[in-house]
Homo-oligomer: A and B are copies of this chain.
Amino acid sequence: MKEPIVSALQIRNAGERIKPYINRTPVMTSASLNKLFNTNVFFKCENFQKVGAFKARGATNAVRSLSPDSLMHGVATHSSGNHAQALSWAAALAGTKAYIVMPSNSSPVKIEAVKGYGGLITFCEPTLSSREETLQKVIEKTGAIEIHPYNDTRIIEGQATSALELFEEIPFLDLIIVPVGGGGLLSGTALSALHFSSDTKVIAAEPMMADDAFRSFKSGTFIPSVNPETIADGLRTSLGSLTFQVIREHVSDIVTVSEESIVNAMRFIWERMKIIVETSSAVPLAAIMEQRIKVDGKRTGIILSGGNVDLSNLPW
């Protein structure tokens, strides 16, 4: 097998680099869930991370990897989700600017959140080509460094630190289940498992309605999603070239789940565990509840990716 794109040392260094800025998130369990499925599930709570999502890890690692000279003109990305907030927050904390290109139809809640963290927004048409063109213009004008939401080794290293912490705290996991959108968290987790917990199988869970990773993984050819409508809005993006490569090589399986089971799993976590997670975070538990992944008698890790929810607009 060829050398993985991120080494154990790079992940450990990322962990040290971001440590002063991020939260070491707690691991929680649910006695009722464990009883129901005769299992042991350990939830790594990135909903308690800074800015409410694991994205704070990758964004901080990317920003803090830049030299002072590179950082001077700021960082830039196109995103309407948690990466936009995370990059704005990480840039402000490092004393620089974040230029965020957002589609004009982004929700007001998300626009306000980015502004709240100090991000400087440029609006564009809600198409991928407009997003990319607008970002190029912003970069030419400002000299900012682009930080892609997931197709970037600095981002992947940062996201890998969540699983690293989980493996440190909970050894001997039989498997770890992670939601997959662009694949930053999944490829980071797969590389952490490879380096630090090689007996742990890495399985991805994806909404059936945005199953590009599933189809790409099964066919061995990159197949993007076209305007997927899943309720798990953090998982609507398609894989990138780097993340697809890591996933092909180091992920055991990808399973898909229905919209209904995502909502049921989310509500289960809210009601029984008394914590707030966003729809995307509920996808791995949905895979267990739908019995797409058998956990009977096993030790399973799940990364709860985030907790940013519009409380005035819940899916039940």
Contacts and interface: CB of A to CB of B under 8 A. Distances in A.
Contact of A271 (B48, B267, B277, B311): B311
Contacts of A47: 274
Contact of A267 (B311, B314, B316): B311
A76 interface: no
Contacts of A267: 311
A143 interface: no
Contacts of A26: 26
A280 to B, nearest CB: 14
Interface in A259-316: 267, 270-271, 273-277, 307, 311-312, 314, 316
Interface residues of A, number: 18
Contacts of A74: none
Contact of A276 (B28, B48, B274, B312): B274
A52 interface: yes
B311 A270 contact: yes
A316 to B, nearest CB: 6
A211 B307 CA distance: 35
A266 to B, nearest CB: 10
21 contacts: A26-B26, A28-B48, A47-B274, A48-B273, A48-B274, A52-B274, A267-B311, A270-B276, A270-B311, A271-B311, A274-B275, A274-B276, A274-B277, A274-B307, A275-B275, A275-B276, A276-B276, A311-B314, A311-B316, A312-B316, A314-B314
